[in-house]
Copies of this chain bind each other. A is one copy, B any other.
Amino acid sequence: MATDEAKKSNTNVKSGGKKKEVKKETGLGLSNKKDDNFGEWYYEVVVNGEMIEYYDISGCYILRPWAISIWETMQTFFDAEIKKMKIKNCYFPLFVSPGVLQREKDHIEGFAPEVAWVTKSGSTDLDVHIAIRPTSETVMYPYYSKWIRGHRDLPLKLNQWCNVVRWEFSHPTPFIRSREFLWQEGHTAFATKVEADEEVLEILELYRRIYEEYLEIPVIKGKKSELEKFAGGLYTTSVEAFIPNTGRGIQGATSHCLGQNFAKMFEINFENEKGEKQMVWQNSWAYSTRTIGVLVMVHGDDNGLVLPPKVASVQVVVIPVPYKDADTQAIFDACSETVNTLSKAGFRVEADFRDNYSPGWKYSHWEMKGVPLRIEIGPKDLVNSQVRIVRRDNSAKTDIPMAKLTEKVKEMLDDVQQSLFDAAKQKRDACIKVVKTWDEFMEALNQKKMILAPWCDEEEVEKDVKARTKGEMGAAKTLCSPFDQPELPEGTLCFASGKPAKKWTYWGRSY
Interface residues of A (CB under 8 A from B): 53, 55-57, 60-65, 68-69, 72, 88-97, 99-100, 112-123, 129-130, 132, 142-143, 146-147, 152, 158, 162-163, 165, 167, 179-180, 182, 354, 356
- Are A94 and B56 within 8 A (Cβ)? no
Q: What are 24 A-to-B residue pairs whose CB atoms are below 8 Å?
A: A53-B143, A55-B93, A56-B99, A56-B100, A60-B93, A63-B90, A65-B89, A65-B158, A68-B88, A69-B88, A69-B89, A91-B182, A94-B163, A94-B165, A95-B179, A112-B122, A113-B121, A116-B118, A117-B118, A117-B121, A118-B118, A118-B119, A119-B119, A163-B163
Residues of B within 8 A of A91 (CB): 62-63, 68, 182
Q: Report Cα–Cα, A121/B170, bound state, in Å.
A: 13
Residues of B within 8 A of A90 (CB): 62-65, 68
Residues of B within 8 A of A122 (CB): 112-115, 167
- Are B93 and A142 within 8 A (Cβ)? no
Nearest Cβ distance between residue A81 and chain B, in whole angstroms? 15
In chain B, what residue has the closest Cβ to A64?
B90
In chain B, what residue has the closest Cβ to A168?
B121
Nearest Cβ distance between residue A116 and chain B, in whole angstroms? 5
Q: With A60-B95, A64-B90, A158-B65 given, is the CB distance from A129 to B120 under 8 Å?
A: yes
Q: Report Cα–Cα, A165/B55, bound state, in Å.
A: 20
Q: Report Cα–Cα, A143/B54, bound state, in Å.
A: 9
Q: Report Cα–Cα, A95/B57, bound state, in Å.
A: 8
The 5 closest A-B pairs by CB, nearest first: A121-B167, A65-B88, A60-B93, A113-B122, A117-B120
Residues of B within 8 A of A121 (CB): 113-117, 167
Residues of B within 8 A of A93 (CB): 55, 57, 60-62, 180
In chain B, what residue has the closest Cβ to A60?
B93
Nearest Cβ distance between residue A384 and chain B, in whole angstroms? 32
Residues of B within 8 A of A94 (CB): 60, 163, 165, 180
With A69-B89, A113-B123, A115-B121 given, name 10 new contacts (CB 8 A): A60-B95, A62-B93, A65-B89, A68-B91, A69-B88, A112-B122, A113-B122, A119-B120, A152-B354, A162-B163
Nearest Cβ distance between residue A19 and chain B, in whole angstroms? 24
Residues of B within 8 A of A147 (CB): 53
Q: Report Cα–Cα, A89/B66, bound state, in Å.
A: 9
Residues of B within 8 A of A123 (CB): 113
Q: Report Cα–Cα, A88/B68, bound state, in Å.
A: 9
Q: With A65-B90, A143-B62 given, is the CB distance from A95 to B180 under 8 Å?
A: yes
Nearest Cβ distance between residue A271 and chain B, in whole angstroms? 12
Nearest Cβ distance between residue A144 and chain B, in whole angstroms? 11
In chain B, what residue has the closest Cβ to A113?
B122
Nearest Cβ distance between residue A191 and chain B, in whole angstroms? 15
Q: Report Cα–Cα, A121/B57, bound state, in Å.
A: 14
Q: Report Cα–Cα, A132/B133, bound state, in Å.
A: 13
Residues of B within 8 A of A179 (CB): 95
Nearest Cβ distance between residue A14 and chain B, in whole angstroms? 26
Q: Report Cα–Cα, A119/B55, bound state, in Å.
A: 19
In chain B, what residue has the closest Cβ to A72?
B89
Tell me which of A97, A99, A122, A152 has the highest count of chain B C-beta atoms within 10 A of its own C-beta.
Answer: A122
Nearest Cβ distance between residue A330 and chain B, in whole angstroms? 24
Residues of B within 8 A of A142 (CB): 56
Residues of B within 8 A of A69 (CB): 88-89
Residues of B within 8 A of A165 (CB): 94
Residues of B within 8 A of A64 (CB): 90
Residues of B within 8 A of A61 (CB): 93
Nearest Cβ distance between residue A132 and chain B, in whole angstroms? 7
- Are B62 and A92 within 8 A (Cβ)? yes
Q: Report Cα–Cα, A55/B92, bound state, in Å.
A: 9
Nearest Cβ distance between residue A166 and chain B, in whole angstroms? 9
